[in-house]
Amino acid sequence: MQPAFRQVTLCFLLAFALSSEANAQSTDEEDLALVYGDKSTISIATGSKQNFRRAPAVASVVTSEEIEAMGAKDLDAILESVPGIHVSRASIRYPSTYTIRGIGGGGPFNPQILLLQNGIPTTTMYSGDKGYAWVGVPVENIARIEIIRGPGSALYGADAYAGVINVITKTASDTLGTSIGARLGSFNTKSTWLQHGGVWGDMDVATYLRVGTTDGIKEIIQADNATRFGTSLAPGAVSTGYNSIDGSINISYEKWRVRSAYKLRDKLGTGAGVASALDPNSLGQAESINADISWKDPLFTQNWGLAITASTQHYASTQPNNLQLYPPGTILNGKLFSKGLIGGPNSWDKQFRLSGSASYSGFSNHNLRIGAGYNYLDLYRVKTVNNFTLDSKGAPIPISIGTIDITEIQPHIRPHLRRLNYLYAQDEWNFTRDWTLTTGVRQDNYSDFGSTTNPRLALVWDTAINLTSKFLYGQAFRAPSFSEQYNLNPVANGNAELSPETIQTMEAAFSWQACSNTLINLNLFHFNTQNIITLVNNTAPALGATYQNIGSQQGSGIELEAIWDANSALRLTGNYAYQKSIDSSSKQDVGYAPHSQLYLRTDWRYTNGWHASTQVNRVMDRMRSAGDTRPQVPNYTTVDLSVGTPRKSSWQITASVLNLFNADVREPSSAPSTAIPNDLPMAPRSLWLQSNYKM
């Protein structure tokens, strides 16, 4: 038996031994709902609340109570517990990248996954993903997280490609009263927060403010992209520190709701370097400001429900002191850069989104939903500061007078405006007692690359009183990001003629309540993707490389999940996911994502309301992409432990140790393999202490 598995076995034997002291009474559903929250309903699958087991999607729900039970300290730790999701890292600034069913890894950005906050996209326009303001997202203000694995474009449009993650923040009813909390942990990490929920006149008000700082992990990179020039700072530590501010306000009055949120990541380290060359001194900043107002009346008339939402987002990614792409003394194409290559790409975007929907239940056994929307997506300002320019082949040429603003002569991208109109329709038809057919279609019309139409079908069958079966088909698309369409860097030319990436997925899902205290879920899936956007070297060397629609892949897999309430005090949860994805042109594994994942957790509530959680995460069989001759990425197993005081008391204290046995965890570095040959090191063993006082 391998040492890691021997240690894991000991942990679970200990959990079972301790559980023998627990009160061995039959599981009470209401008691479990208090402990783990309401997981019986979900909204993300159709846009309206419905029974979770009958939702026309392969979905997961994680509640705030469950987040507390597992001792999670950020959003990434929560998502790693969901079947089929793996949280990796990109080398540039070390942001999390979410891989769902083998899709989403392998690059600096993560545009294949749509992240929503309260149902509204967080997508930034330059990179097409959540951006850097979502680094280290705290969990204290999360009420629940709803996740769809598989396509969701028929309802959510662009980037609902491999999956959709909706982070729902707390309302006044979730945070009645005032509480103050603090967390201390490894890597010189400190944070404190203040939260309040209550009534102000006729309005319900919830507020949240958190400030924090961390030095980040200091794991060592043995060699990097500058090693070949003889100027590398490797061996050296990755730079992953930052300061953070997270704040929000949530106000509701009758049928109206107004929300605003702010995220700042300041003095943000460069990870393994923007050019995969260590850069310990450069610091960036990412800032996101969001606001939305909505009105909703599910009983506007006898058979009609109406809703309308307007939202805005402002996002800025800036480099106050520029970035050192390569260290001092680097020689490129015979040119000496005595101070190194220095660059400062900055961008600012603003978005306005308006959407409305109507539901109609006047037809027998039907629930109709129609919707429309308009998005104004504007990369309105860019700034490029370098100590070099690029020749026609993309080779850097030193600027003799040092670092200057070259935005007017050679920007990394120019401002661009995208407009989007969309329409969608959905019908839930309960055509017999045990069968429901959900059909939907959405058309998106873009100002810069045309239209795309995406349908979905979902057949839900109550096969038996304790068994639900689902058969699903869906299409989805990923819109090209502005950097892929409009980059002016000859090394990575944009292509205004790009089409969206597309995916077709077929799924079969089964939910079996094996007995009153045991739930088993089984999901099978197969997908085909086309028009994958890839950088391709041009035949004329002077033109460098250009983004093109050239890739495709096929993938299949299985997800198995089980939840067993052994008694009223002990819950055991486990899931296993397997996937295999093949690149259609090379006939080789797509790479980066794990073929197999195993996750196990025990939640134990013992004497006087104290609670403990043990988590085991095993990541296996990560292959390299075509042309990367390195051995496959090593497997790893992590074990996390968390112990907390009673939740109903005024003071709540939680102590955690993550990666208990100090496993060497590494996430794959992307091509070329010479950039970071030994992959990206992750956090070693760490200790955390959290306290929360409710006034």
Residue at 555: amino acid letter: G
The residue count of the chain comes to 695
Is the pLDDT reported for residue 436 higher than 80?
A: yes
CA distances from 275 to 92, 272, 450, 621, 674 (A): 8, 8, 33, 27, 12
Give rounded-to-5 percent helix, strand, coil for the chain.
Answer: 10, 55, 35
pLDDT of residue 22: 37
For the residues 495-503, what does the mean pLDDT come to? Answer: 94
Contact 355, 47 (CB under 8 A): no
Largest CA distance in the chain: 79
Is the pLDDT reported for residue 25 higher than 60?
A: no
CA nearest 109: which of 274, 262, 243, 237? 274
pLDDT of residue 538: 67
pLDDT per position as a tens digit, 286-332? 999 999 999 999 999 999 999 999 999 999 999 988 899 999 999 98
pLDDT per position as a tens digit, 683-693? 999 999 999 99
Contact 160, 116 (CB under 8 A): no
Q: Is the dihedral of CA 68, 71, 73, 78 positive or negative?
A: negative
At which residue do the structure tokens 């609340």 appear?
49
Domain boundaries 3-694, corresponding CATH code: 2.40.170.20
Cis peptide upstream of residue 235 (ω within 30 degrees of 0): yes
Contact 59, 73 (CB under 8 A): no
pLDDT of residue 15: 41
| E strands present in 50-188 | 50-51, 59-63, 85-89, 96-100, 113-117, 120-121, 142-149, 163-169, 177-185
For the residues 91-100, what does the mean pLDDT come to? Answer: 93
At 106, the pLDDT band (50, 70, 90 cuts) reads: low
Domain ranges of the chain: 3-694
pLDDT of residue 253: 97
Which H or E element spans position 13? helix 3-19
Q: Which string of DSSP letters, residue by residue, matches 124-151?
A: -TTTSS--GGGTT--STTEEEEEEEES-
Query: 636 forms bridges with which residues in the sheet?
Result: 619
Q: Report the C-alpha gap between 89 and 105 in whole angstroms.
A: 8
pLDDT of residue 209: 98
pLDDT of residue 545: 80
For the residues 150-178, what does the mean pLDDT come to? Answer: 94
At 647, the pLDDT band (50, 70, 90 cuts) reads: confident
At 49, the pLDDT band (50, 70, 90 cuts) reads: confident
Residue 162: DSSP 8-state? S
Total-model pTM: 0.94
Residue at 250: amino acid letter: N
pLDDT of residue 395: 82
For the residues 632-648, what does the mean pLDDT come to? Answer: 93
pLDDT per position as a tens digit, 220-273? 999 999 998 899 999 999 999 999 999 999 999 999 999 999 999 999 999 999
Q: Report the C-alpha gap between 122 and 263 in whole angstroms.
A: 12
Is the pLDDT reported for residue 31 higher than 80?
A: no
Tokens representing 325 are 């792409």
Q: Report the C-alpha gap between 59 and 142 in whole angstroms.
A: 18
Contact 647, 611 (CB under 8 A): yes
Residue 31: DSSP 8-state? H
Q: Report the C-alpha gap between 263 and 260 in whole angstroms.
A: 11
pLDDT per position as a tens digit, 516-562? 999 999 999 999 999 999 888 765 544 568 899 988 999 999 999 99
Q: Report the C-alpha gap between 512 and 53 in whole angstroms.
A: 10
Q: Report the C-alpha gap between 168 and 274 in whole angstroms.
A: 32
Q: Tell me what the pLDDT averaged over the chain comes to.
A: 91
CA distances from 243 to 123, 131, 190, 267, 298 (A): 22, 16, 10, 6, 42
Is the pLDDT reported for residue 408 higher than 80?
A: yes
Which H or E element spans position 67? helix 64-70
Share of the chain above pLDDT 70, in %: 93
